[in-house]
Amino acid sequence: MVTAGLIGTAALLVVALTGCASGPPPAVTSSTSSALPAGSAVTPYVDVSASTPPITAMSDAGAGNDVALAFGLATDGDCTPSWGGTVALDDADLLAQLDRLRQRGGRVTVATGGATGEYLENVCDSAADLAAAYGKLLDTTRSARLDVDIETDVDVDRVADALHTVQAGRDVDVSLTLQVSGAGRGLDSRAMKVARAVAAAGVRFDVNAMVMNFPYDGTWLTAMTDAASAVRSQLGEISPAPQGLAITVMIGRNDTGPVTTLDDARGLAAALPGLGVHDLRLWSLSRDNGGCPGAEKARFDCSGVDQADFAFTKLFRDAASAPAATNGRNGS
């Protein structure tokens, strides 16, 4: 993902699955409906290091009220979280926008890690210190949702122990955002190592697969759906099994060249029910506009495709609110 100030890559369209706690993953079934299962959420990631994150503008436009704030990083080499390592955690404008979202029923997720920058997971010296940093992120934003995006080597036991400590002390939903190695290949070895360690620590979590920036043949839509299907199959290799699956999609131009078009987004929305996907996140809100149609490289402030403001967020929101057909789980 491309981030302002960081220029990192983290396309996140997170899709949280439920019902994966026991038994093998359900078979993938086809669906001709673009509707997602009832209760699905659509959550765009917000690059808080961007100059003016359009959080309230999204809500005012009727595109939704849920956001994921990215990324909580270390500050000047210290185990103190800030947004992108540069923006104060308690930035007054940000907190005011979050309050307005909550007044409209919105939910806030906080995300750490990402493609670049100093990870709290590496700077904090102990699991206790890391857990305290996670807690500060959650408390400052009044969030009960924590997303840990791992795109570099970390001490997996420290991360697992910290997440266990946080979850033991409060009611918090955890997701792990992890890299996909390619279409049909699923999560890479580092991602699986992280997931297994967190599962072994007794943490309840969703896997969020980054369905973006990987090599592929054929069409990009097929590559994304094949990658999601491969990750779905991998959940059975993690014990105890994750609570659900998530996928991350980068709207518009990806860093490695592929372009997720609005037609791709429609096709993806139609395919996800057959994979049991319930919640979507996308990278990113500041990119969900048509300010740079035809851009040859990914940018942090526009998608690179010809679109209206918040077109991707609205498309997925409409799919989540439409009457659902067969969702591929238990024949319902």
The model's pLDDT over 73-111, given as tens digits with 9 standing for 90+, comes to 999 999 999 999 999 999 999 999 999 999 999 999 999
Q: Is 330 among the domain residues? A: no
Q: Is 24 among the domain residues? A: no
Q: Is 71 among the domain residues? A: yes
pLDDT band at 243 (very low <50, low <70, confident <90, very high): very high
Q: Which token pair is 90?
A: 């308690």
More confident: 68 or 275:
68
Q: How far is CA 128 from CA 84, 165, 176, 220, 305, in A?
A: 22, 8, 19, 42, 44
Q: Is 84 among the domain residues? A: yes
Burial degree of 182 (CB within 10 A; 0-12, 13-18, 19+): middle
Number of separate domains in the chain: 1
Most confidently predicted of 1-5, 96-100, 245-249: 96-100
Q: If you average pLDDT over residues 216-241, what whole number do you get? A: 96
**Which pLDDT value is given to residue 51?**
72
Strand ranges (DSSP E) for the chain? 41-47, 67-75, 78-83, 108-113, 145-149, 173-182, 186-187, 205-210, 244-250, 252-253, 259-260, 279-283
CA 271 to mean position of chain CA atoms = 18
Average pLDDT of the chain to the nearest whole number: 88
**Which pLDDT value is given to residue 280?**
85
Pairing of β 78-83 and β 67-75? antiparallel
Q: Is 271 among the domain residues? A: yes
Q: Is 220 among the domain residues? A: yes
Place of tokens 């704030």: 69
Q: Is 75 among the domain residues? A: yes
**Which pLDDT value is given to residue 81?**
99
The enclosing domain of 83 has a CATH number of 3.20.20.80
Residue 87 per-residue DSSP state: B
More confident: 174 or 277:
174
Asked if residues 145 and 111 have their Cβ atoms less than 8 Å apart, the reply is no
pLDDT band at 17 (very low <50, low <70, confident <90, very high): very low
Q: Is 128 among the domain residues? A: yes
> Residue 46 belongs to what domain range?
41-319
Q: If you average pLDDT over residues 202-227, what whole number do you get? A: 96
The helix/strand/coil state of 293 is coil
Q: Letter for the amino acid at 151?
A: E
**Which pLDDT value is given to residue 307?**
98
